[in-house]
Structure 1
Amino acid sequence: MTTEAGREAVTDVLGEPYVAETLELPPDDEGEVVATLVHRSAAATSTKAVLHVHGFADYFFQTGYAEWWTERGYDFYALDLRKYGRSLGPHQTPTYVTDLAEYDAELDEAWRRITERDGHTEVVLSAHSTGGLVTGLWADRRRPAQLVGAVMNSPWLDLQGSTLRRVVTTPIIKQLGARQPRREIKRHVTGFYTRSLHRDHEGEWDFDLLWKPIESFTVYAGWLRAVREGHARLHRGLALSCPVLVLSSGRSALPEEMGEEVHGTDIVLDVEQIRRWATAYGPHVTYVAVDGARHDVVLSREEPRARAYAAVDTWMRAWVDPPSRSLL
């Protein structure tokens, strides 16, 4: 497979049947910028596709999720955003942007390739954590005609903590982000979440710890300012006309030690904030809390993971791809 720009799509780091192609983007103040589009085809030719976008300190490696979609006849695409995963260059500050709209360039190009080049007329948008904020804002700005649904997996829709904390800290974040965008925001990272996932620790999944490190990545004031501005825009209300499914764990926790609570709750985000702001995506939102799930619900243990997939399947049959369509 060769792209129109002449850059060959090669076998991805995940191995066959995954392929990856580089999306060349305008350079920024750190130099060359790229994103990476990963693709796995369904068994039969399809006009339906999924585009998945990861969260913070993350990249696409959830092959079970891709297989779930391809088994249902959807071609699966995943985008590693600039400065993440496959797209991170040695000259770049990991994850760093100062405006979430910077991601529009790679989302626009990925969407164009999926729809115009590859001929998909029905596309489901899928996103996890920060990706749920990024893609929601993008879809609201672009309103792509081929968008038929969105699955938001524990989207980051507000700052964690009390209302007082958010009211007090947000103006400080915005000032710091504007004046000292490269200033590090100090935070305590236990590493419990990534340890709960990786097979060399307490988990069952294999992924690159350089691309998804146990200690996460540094958070900078300019990036956090961009996130808070994104939150404010979402809180004013988006207008996605497609059906949206929002998934989260049943509850959040802040464990002080590695134990069962780490594996069965969201220890990254506040699920009450996810529940509160879910309807901000638009008028057709379904919210499902999956008891026992982790922050990334499709990386939960077997039982809650199965219930998460069942929720997506039920929602798809009701709102996006009902069985009656096959009779038309």
Structure 2
Amino acid sequence: MTQWTRRNVLVGGTALTGAALAIGTPSAAHAAVTPPTIHSRAAWNARPPSGTLTINNYRPTVIVVHHMATPNTSDTSLAAAYAMSRSRQNYHMDGRGYSDVGDHFGNSRGGHITEGRAHSLPLLQEGGSRFVLGAHAAGGNTNSIGIENEGLYTDVAPPTAQYNSLVHLCAYICQQYQISPSTSSIIGHRQVTATACPGNVLFGMLPQLRADVATMLGTTPPPTDPQWPTVRQGDTGHNVRSIQYFLNHRGIATSVDGNFGPATAGSVRSFQSANGLGADGVVGPLTWPKLVVTTQQGSTGDATRAVQSQLTRHGYATTVDGNFGPQTATNVRSFQSARGIGVDGQAGPQTWRRFTA
């Protein structure tokens, strides 16, 4: 049996029960990708969750790719995939004390896809507006689907069968949840949490993965997302103000005045040190993704003020009151539509790249 040695995850939870036994037919509006074979929890004899799981009543916008950091076994049978799924669940529940498998789907070295967290498969089959809250990427679970790939891909690439099944699964998820396969929607675990996952080799394959997913979807790959700006001491303006709002949200008291002075630089260095980043006081491509907080209707506080301030900057009249209400959500959707990105009313990394461009 595989011995599990990693994963720093959060516990999520739902009131749904039971396991799906087969893949359903995608909706008529999204029928380009034939559903891959996904083996249900019942097939691999999963244990029931030990606690209540949470169903999010909105679409996920991100797919997080992981490797399991387990031995690169030569046993590529379906039976081995089932055993891997049981081992993964036992590790998460017994070894780590979680209520269930942390990720949504597993992908074995033989290319066998298995359902992970309870309810992941039937909600994917619904195709649209709900998914179970996972526990696979601390800080990024609220808007993402997690895929665990069996093996260790620090120095070697995954087998062809496993890569092909990953492409197929990602394309199906994108189809069902209307996710565009961009650089900010199919990402590696290391882009969310300080970790080596999914390994240097598999991480380096993500651009090809996105392109292959786009091909399977019958679309052209979307334009590359704008790069995060580099903001440093001496700069002024809305991006500085957003940084200051986010620092406050993260618990680092910072004056919100739009001026990147020595105090703001010190706050940035404190944040970077606490998050495993080089503490240079400069907010660039490595710091922005750690600093930005995904907000949506119902969110409150400084992270919401950051959104409202940026909306005002871009010409969307928005009261900066820290309450993410219907008008803020409407303005976010309008901004997203005007920028040609997924319109979901959530201010996540993809939207923030465009706010700060």
What TM-score results when the alignment is normalised by the length of structure 2?
0.31
Larger radius of gyration: 2
Q: Which has the higher strand share?
A: 1
What TM-score results when the alignment is normalised by the length of structure 1?
0.33
